Amino acid sequence: NAGVTQTPKFRVLKTGQSMTLLCAQDMNHEYMYWYRQDPGMGLRLIHYSVGEGTTAKGEVPDGYNVSRLKKQNFLLGLESAAPSQTSVYFCASTDGLAGGPAKNIQYFGAGTRLSVL
Amino acid sequence: DQQVKQNSPSLSVQEGRISILNCDYTNSMFDYFLWYKKYPAEGPTFLISISSIKDKNEDGRFTVFLNKSAKHLSLHIVPSQPGDSAVYFCAARSIIQGAQKLVFGQGTRLTINP
């Protein structure tokens, strides 16, 4: 059972280059999320999706775009990478059912470490 | 502004003793509070949670306490084991327009010394 898989695991970009981070989940979850983790900042929400074909902005959306064309996949795009986007990116998913966290715990991928030079 | 704060970046505890990790929050609208554990090169994994209407939740060696009047929660691990060495994130949940959102603290790196 793979859970949440992120590709690639590592990437180095030059300023201005573009790239797409892929998140795939095999748990048939409705909700998917993209976070970034920076030293001393915890995890901050970039964008999220409440279902196939939907996306919404999180806390720090600037410079990123997302797409959810298939339920199991959530893509994060950087159109023109900047050094400020050097970070570790995490994808998460949850089934989004109403109720306590026991029913909608967020499951995380292993992360993508991105460096922008 | 940081809605969820973990003011201790690191904590070192001797094996077998109690580890206490603290977290403060500012938003009274959070309905659940969660603790996640993270090992290097892995994603965070869910550890334990507490509803905003409770003051204590226990799961084996892990207990979370919530003090709503002080807007403070703590995670107690007893007895601490070497495998507990990790970064612990406190998170607070809100439901906005039907979507669950988590706000994370900065994390506390716990080191258990043998």
Lowest mean pLDDT among A103-107, A111-115, B59-63: A103-107
Using a CB-CB distance cutoff of 8 angstroms, which residues of chain B are in contact with residue A100? 32, 49, 51
pLDDT value of residue A98: 58
Residue A71 has pLDDT above 70, yes or no: yes
Measured between CB atoms, does A44 come within 8 Å of chain B?
yes
Does pLDDT of A97 surpass 90?
Answer: no
Give the tens place of pLDDT for each residue, B17-35: 999 999 999 988 898 999 9
Q: Is a pLDDT exceeding 90 seen at residue B47?
A: yes
Looking at beta carbons, which residues of chain A come within 8 Å of B41?
110-111
Report A:4-23 residues touching B (Cβ under 8 A).
Answer: 4
Q: How far is A41 from chain B (nearest CA, A)?
A: 5
Least confident span in B45-49, B82-86, B93-97: B93-97
B66: chain A residues, CB-CB within 8 Å: none
Q: DSSP of chain B, one letter per residue?
A: --SEE---SEEEEETTS-EEEEEEE--TT--EEEEEEE-TTS--EEEEEEETT-SEEEETTEEEEEETTTTEEEEEESS--GGG-EEEEEEEEEEETTEEEEEE---EEEEEE-
Q: Which candidate from A48, A96, A111 shows the least CB-CB separation from B43?
A: A111
Residue A39 has a pLDDT of 86
